[in-house]
Chain A
Amino acid sequence: MKHDKIERNLGILLIFTMLAISAGGMVEIIPLFFIKETIEKVDGVRPYTPLEQRGRDIYTREGCYLCHSQMIRPFRDEALRYGHYSLAAESKYDHPFQWGSKRTGPDLARVGGKYSNDWHTQHLIAPRSLVPQSVMPNYPWLAKNDLDYSDITLRLKALRVAGVPYSNSQAEYERNVKDFGEDVAKTLHIPDAEKNLVAQAKLGNYDTDPSNITELDALVAYLQVLGTMVDFKKYDDDYFVKFR
């Protein structure tokens, strides 16, 4: 009896089990690779600068995603509180994405520009000094730890392999100039990553202490760019409906 054979042979059982389980996933996922209609055509989305990317790494390291989502759903209450619903295009350079569904704190998809650097700095060091009823933990070490950016080129190279258009050659740089404009393309050039990171941290002074570059500088730079890349004023307010 065939069934008998499968049940008595662990190797075969394993293979057939995997096939059976993955069928559902494949049917749901693979067609999405080919559907062009849902790809949002929108300007402004760019990969993170080296400093922002480093801040993003710290965001994941500290587990901020355990309490914060980064996806505004297309519901009325969410729009009223957080702003325009998130687009898929807005997280296309996120590896891994931070959409999430656990919200102990508010969604952060559009927190960029909402507060000052000063506020973020103080809020991350001691949230309850600004929001007395907050349950967010204190992160005082972020302001004390110097930012380690010795491996920034390696980090960007890894993301480049994952498909993020950081440039590592003149030809790739030229392509980025065409796609993103010169100012942005410069920040995406891997050989200049360290220089760019230091320059942005110095100029932005994100942790309000200009004397050094800390992990807080990077994290605040990241928070301040969230949700700010797309200028929704450039589009009809139902423009994105057609991609669904």
Chain B
Amino acid sequence: MSQDKTTTTATPKTTGHNWDGIEEYTNPLPTWWIWGFYITFIFTVVYWLFYPAWPIGDKFTKGIPGLHTITYKATTVDGKEVEKTTHWNMRSKFMHEMNEMEGVQKQWFDKVAAMSFEDVSKDAELMQFVNSAGKTLFSDNCAPCHQAGGQGKIGFSPNLTDDHWQFGGTHDEIQQTIVHGRKGFMPAFKEVLNEQQITQLANYVLSLSGEPHDNAFATAGAQLFKSEDAGCYYCHGADAKGNTQMGSANLTDKIWLWADVPAKSTQESKLAEVKRVITGGLDRGVMPAWGGRLKPEQIKLLTVYVHDSLGGGK
């Protein structure tokens, strides 16, 4: 340790510089510190042996060959699994880490991938995995639209926790929805129908869900619904129960997605909501396609999660 020069009697060494009477000591650095400094030099040499380090022309050293390698399993474009060994680097280390994790999760994902939807649903142990992995996947990818519990948001995205499915509620249909995405489209009727016709149709639509409505208008609306003039039946069906192929809403199930009828308190405002949808049409709701973003086994797991855990198995 260096001594505190202010308390010693010996004259301390100085640099000889004198700045208006202020002098500068030249005390030696502490020995332990100097040694620390030398050790960092030794460390760099060791580092060069183990890790990518020095540039040489258009290449770089990759450590002593064979001294510090990483072995990982990779999948080729055509699905073959190959084992490779490379010098240490972040990306091969990453491959190795992914292999390790897959080693833990893979057995479960493999099981899900190999079994039929029905068998997965019945396997209580597997469903525990589906629930925890599904919850994570759902939070990262689906919750921003369908909300944290999958309850959806009126005017934006459908509720996935009820047992009503616009695009079909079987495992296969839900899988289709997730892989390819969905987009319901309904044309605007403001050019095709006049104000009175739209009022009649809206009253009919309200009557289907037992909402307050005008009976005379609703009767006329029912005719119109099935007529060529409006052609609603073409997409929603003569019974107004919708068609899962095109996602045309079931208008009789008291579930509203785009016309926020339940939130309106008066008959007039409820009517205005439905009229708004018929007048302007629907070209907004887009369910993105996940086929390119998530792996097939992740999608299969999400399908089971949506169908059995959120949707209650229907």
Report if A2 contacts B (CB, 8 A): no
How many A-B Cβ pairs are below 8 Å? Answer: 96
| Residues of B in contact with A, size category | 35 or more
Q: A114-B288, A208-B284, A236-B76 are in contact. Are A31 and B55 (CB under 8 A)?
A: yes
Chain A, interface SS category: loop
Asked if B52 contacts A244 (CB within 8 A), the reply is yes
Report if B47 contacts A (CB, 8 A): no
- Binary contact readout B144-170 vs A (1 if CB under 8 angstroms, 0 otherwise): 110000000100100000000000000
B57-65, B189-197, B247-255, B271-279: which lies at the interface: B57-65
Asked if A130 contacts B156 (CB within 8 A), the reply is yes
Residue of B nearest to A81 (CB): B140
Asked if A244 contacts B89 (CB within 8 A), the reply is yes
Q: A76-B98, A130-B156, A244-B89 are in contact. Are A117 and B58 (CB under 8 A)?
A: no
Residue of B nearest to A121 (CB): B284
Query: What is the size, in residues, of chain A's interface with B at 8 Å between Cβ atoms?
Result: 38
Asked if B95 contacts A241 (CB within 8 A), the reply is yes
A10-18, A34-42, A47-55, A176-184: which lies at the interface: A34-42
CB distance from A182 to the nearest CB of B (A): 24
Residues of A at the B interface (CB closer than 8 Å) are 4, 31-32, 34-38, 74-76, 79, 81, 83, 85, 113-119, 122-123, 130-131, 208, 233-238, 240-244
A-B contacts besides A237-B75, A238-B92, A243-B91, 20 pairs, CB < 8 Å: A4-B17, A32-B55, A34-B57, A34-B58, A35-B58, A35-B59, A37-B59, A74-B91, A74-B93, A83-B293, A113-B293, A114-B288, A117-B286, A119-B144, A123-B144, A233-B77, A240-B91, A241-B91, A244-B90, A244-B92
Residues of B at the A interface (CB closer than 8 Å) are 17, 52, 55, 57-60, 72, 74-77, 84, 86, 89-95, 97-98, 101, 140-141, 143-145, 153, 156, 284-288, 292-293
